[in-house]
Every structure is written in C-alpha cells, then in structure tokens.
Amino acid sequence: MKRGVSILFILMLVLVLTVAGCGQGVPAADEDDAAEGAEDVAEITKVGLVVAGGLGDRSFYDSANEGVEQAEEELGIEYKVYECRNDPSLYTDQLVQASEYASIVAVVGYEFYDVVQEIAEEFPEVYYIYVDNEIEGIDNLITVSYAENEGSFLAGALAAMLTEEDSIGMVGGMDMPVIRNFEAGYKAGAEYINPDIKVETIFAEDFEDPAKGKEGATALYSGGADIVFQVAGKTGEGVFEAAEEMDRYAIGVDTDQRYINPDVIVASMVKRVGLSIYDTIVSIQNDEVEPGKILYYGLEQNGVGMGYGTEDMKQFVTDEMKDKLAEIEEKISSGEIKVPTAK
C-alpha cells in the first residue's frame, strides 16, 4: 500500500514539474516578442519640425506642418513641432532640442540661415531639411529652393485677366530675395497678358502682423488696384480684411487660402512646402539622398502652382482663363517663356 502511494506521489510530482516547465516557456516567448517590439519601436523615424514663427498662419508654416503630418500618416514616422514665435533667443535652443529628439529635422524660416549650418556641424548623424534657401557643402544639410517666380507668373497673369482697372498690387512680408522673386514673377506674368498694366508692391516688413498687411493693402486699393497678391504669411490676413472692407479682391499664397474668405480671395499661388518635406523624408528613409544637395521645386516638379478652392465656392476664374494659364505653364516648363528671377 505504501509502495502504491509513493508511486502515485512521484507521478503527481512529475506532472506538476512538467506543467510548471511549460508555464515557464510562455514568458520566454513573450520576452522574445517584447524584444522584437522594442527593436521595431527603435526603428521608427523621428522628425522634428522647427519653425521661426508659429503654426496657425494658414500659409507657409502650416504648409510645412502638412508635410510631416503626411509622413506620419503614410510613413509611420513620429514628430514634434518646435515653434520659435519669432523670438531670436529661441532659434538655437529649439533647433538643438529638435536635433536631440529626431534623426531628421525640417527647418522653416530664413532666420535659421546661419544657425542651421552651425547645428548641422554639431549633429552630423542628423539630417536637416532646410526649406526656402540654398546652401551647399554640408553633407547632412539638404536645402530646398522653390521657383516661386514661376508660380507667381501664373498669379500675375490671372490678376491681369481679372482686373477691371488695369492696376494690381502685391503686399510682401519683407524686402528680401525670396519675396522679390515672387514680385518678379508676378509683374512679368501680368505684363505678359497686358504690357501696359500697373503693378505696385508694398513691403510690410513683418510676417506676423495682419494690421500692417491691412494697411499696405488699403494703400494699394486706394491707389487704384482692384486685386492684391499677399506674400506675407500671417500678415497677409490683413490683406483679406482690407479686400472685404473695400469691396476688392485678393490672391492668397503658399496654401490654397480661398476657404478663408471665398468672396474676395479669387485664387492662391500654392507653394508646396509640405510636399517637398515629405518627398525628402522618403528619400532619406530610402537612402537616396545626395549629400549636401540643393533640391529645386518649380512648376515641372509640381512644387508651385495655382489653387482655386473647392467647387462649392463662388468661382471667379473661368475655364477659358484656366486653359490660358495651363498653356502658359507648359511654355514655362518647356523654356519657351523665360521667367525673371530675383534670387
């Protein structure tokens, strides 16, 4: 009897140990899965977006943000936005913070011209995408330059087709090469349609002050212009206000701004900053980027163009006008029309 109990006890002990051994195998598998998961997380690309001003301008900075949002949605990247709110004391600090967080940093604002070159040297393992400038010779710094003069040529041609006063204007954020490039194309496009048209520009000397934009636009409208092209970031919102109050018209910039006030904004010259940032992130991920390269985005690369809002909005631009602009675009892309440049 005792011998039978001993055998039963031994069998039960073996069974318990076997079950315990099997149970210990489950955490081991979980640990392997966890290790693989941690490795996957580590491989997620992190992107920092540093802007000299702040989001919410419904123009240049917001367009850049759309690019990293697209990368998050389609490429699975993670990103953080670092806003400097036009405070020069923050430019270096925010750029350093972004560099410590991310492997790719998109930098938006002419204000970073010197700073980004210094920081890129300090963080050689980080790729920098600096839009709206041209810098060569730093392997991990990719600059993106836009043919805003080509897109503005279309805007000027459209304004010349729409004006009833043969007088149009432009409010620029600051008197600087990039904004002068907009002006050069705008004036040339208008004169392509009407050699005798009057084109006047006022520089607000600020990208963040709608009151100055309104003041500049009011002066242009009062001087006889019936259409004003805003190239002034957030300052340009004042142009739209003046257009509404004075029963005149405006052309938006950078993004399709018609939704802001479709009763006075007839169209927008779109500068696809977001597209260029997204494309460059893809190139970096695929190891296809050339060290220290300047990337160019014009009409041919779909980097600039025109936006007319949505179909439910009041339309000022006729199909005939759109056909004419398409014809002009083809001539620019082929080289038949040489668009002047100012940068």
- Is the pLDDT score of 15 beyond 50? no
List of domains in the chain: 43-147+274-297 (3.40.50.2300), 148-270+304-334 (3.40.50.2300)
Residue 27 banded pLDDT, cuts 50, 70, 90: very low
Residues near 149 by Cβ (< 8 Å), separated by ≥ 6? 181, 182, 184, 185, 188, 339, 340, 341, 342
Residue 33 has pLDDT above 50, yes or no: no
pTM comes to 0.84
Instruction: Tell me the Cα Rg of the chain.
Output: 28
Q: Which of 296, 300, 321 is nearest to 155 (CA)?
A: 321
d(CA 316, CA 186): 19
Considering only the C-alpha atoms of the chain, give the largest distance between any 2 of them, rounded to a whole number of Å.
121
The per-residue pLDDT for 343 is 87
pLDDT category, 156, cuts 50, 70, 90? very high
Exposed e or buried b per residue across 123-154, where buried means at least 16 C-beta atoms within 10 angstroms of its C-beta: beebbbbbbbbebeebebbbbbbbbbbbbbbb
- Type and span of the H or E element at 306: strand 304-307
User: How would residue 43 be classed by pLDDT, with cut points 50, 70 and 90?
Assistant: confident
How many CA atoms within 13 Å lie on the side-chain side of 340? 15
Cβ(270)–Cβ(256) under 8 Å? yes
Task: With CA atoms as reference, report the closest residue to 144 among 255, 253, 342, 292.
Answer: 292
pLDDT higher than 90, residue 11: no
Helices and strands counted in the chain (H then E) = 10, 12
Say how far apart CA 88 and CA 47 lie, in whole Å: 22
pLDDT tens for 209-221 read: 999 999 999 999 9
What's the mean per-residue pLDDT of the chain? Answer: 90
Concatenating the DSSP letter of every residue in 196-254 gives T-EEEEEE-S-SS-HHHHHHHHHHHHHTT-SEEEEESGGGGHHHHHHHHHTT-EEEEEE
Assess whether pLDDT exceeds 90 at residue 21: no
pLDDT value at 12 more than 80: no
Report how far residue 178's alpha carbon sits from residue 207's, in angstroms, rounded to the nearest whole number: 13
Contact 122, 279 (CB under 8 A): no
Q: Which two tokens stand for residue 220?
A: 């242009």
